[in-house]
Structure formats: structure tokens, C-alpha cells
């Protein structure tokens, strides 16, 4: 194995790994390592100079601010949980007991005068219910 060294720049090692695998065969590539001064690309001794050139182009053009699909999915998941938690907090229901919530909802249902009133409440409540469920399930992960 040998190392190809490049000057340190912002790097997303997981993304860079994927980008390198797109230009050289997996058998020639062992991984990416980043220290305080260098980006190290570990490759097989049998890599050709042409393949080394492909790797160099990838490293030079790498944008460390971009995310892999898996990283973006995780960011989106956390953002959605935080957004749902914020909505739940803003609803005023978070500080109430289950009995108080039940009573408030029952009173609101009893006050419905028409379908439009019901729809307006349900447009608010259903996302809050979803937020509460997702928050309770996900809070251990965040």
C-alpha cells in the first residue's frame, strides 16, 4: 500500500471516499485519512500513474461542504424532528397533562359549529399529533 498526499483543505472524508471509488476500482483503494496538514489517500501499490491522476483530479475538485446522500438524510431527519418539536412547544400542549389535553380537545370539538371549524382545528392538530409521536420515538436519537 502507498499513500497519496494532498494539502489539507476542507474535506468530507465520507464523500471523498465515494468520489474516489467512482474513478478507480475498489481493489486499488483502501481509504481516506485526514490529519492536521494532509489528506492521505491510501491506495494499492499497483495503482497506475493515470489512476493516480484521476484521484488527484477528484481531490482537487472535492467540495468538502457537500454531503453524501446518507449525511443529508440524517441532517433532514434531525431538522424535521427539531421543527416538529418547535411546533409542539409553540402549541401550548407540551406543558399540559394528558387529561388537560384530552379536556381541551373535547371542548374544542364540542365548540365546532361547522365543517370549516373542524377542518381548521384538524389542520393544526394532526401535524401536532405527528410531531408528538415522532418526537417521542426520536428523542433518544437526537
pLDDT tens sequence across 79-106: 887 877 787 777 777 788 888 888 888 8
Mean pLDDT of the chain: 87
Task: Write down the pLDDT at residue 141.
Answer: 54
- Residue 139 pLDDT more than 70? no
**Furthest C-alpha separation in the chain:** 78
Task: Write down the pLDDT at residue 36.
Answer: 83
- For residue range 107-128, list pLDDT tens digits in order: 888 888 888 888 888 888 887 7
Cα distance between residue 131 and residue 89, in whole Å = 10
Cα distance between residue 128 and residue 139, in whole Å = 16
Task: Write down the pLDDT at residue 118.
Answer: 87
| The dihedral formed by the CA atoms of 128, 133, 134 and 138, expressed in degrees to the nearest 10 | 140
- Dihedral of CA 61/63/64/70: which sign? negative
**Where do the structural domains in the chain lie, given as residue ranges?**
2-61, 69-138
pTM for the model stands at: 0.61
Amino acid at each position: 500500500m502507498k499513500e497519496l498526499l494532498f494539502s489539507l483543505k476542507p474535506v468530507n472524508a465520507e464523500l471523498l471516499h465515494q468520489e474516489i471509488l467512482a474513478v478507480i476500482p475498489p481493489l486499488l483503494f483502501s481509504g481516506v485519512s485526514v490529519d492536521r496538514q494532509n489528506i492521505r489517500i491510501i491506495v494499492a501499490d499497483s495503482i497506475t500513474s493515470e489512476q493516480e491522476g484521476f484521484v488527484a483530479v477528484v481531490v482537487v475538485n472535492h467540495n468538502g461542504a457537500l454531503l453524501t446522500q446518507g449525511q443529508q438524510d440524517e441532517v433532514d431527519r434531525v431538522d424535521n424532528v427539531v421543527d416538529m418539536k418547535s411546533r409542539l412547544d409553540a402549541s401550548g400542549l407540551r406543558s399540559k397533562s394528558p387529561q388537560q389535553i384530552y379536556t381541551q380537545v373535547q371542548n374544542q370539538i364540542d365548540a365546532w359549529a361547522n365543517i370549516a371549524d373542524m377542518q381548521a382545528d384538524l389542520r393544526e392538530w394532526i401535524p401536532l399529533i405527528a410531531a408528538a409521536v415522532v418526537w417521542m420515538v426520536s428523542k433518544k436519537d437526537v
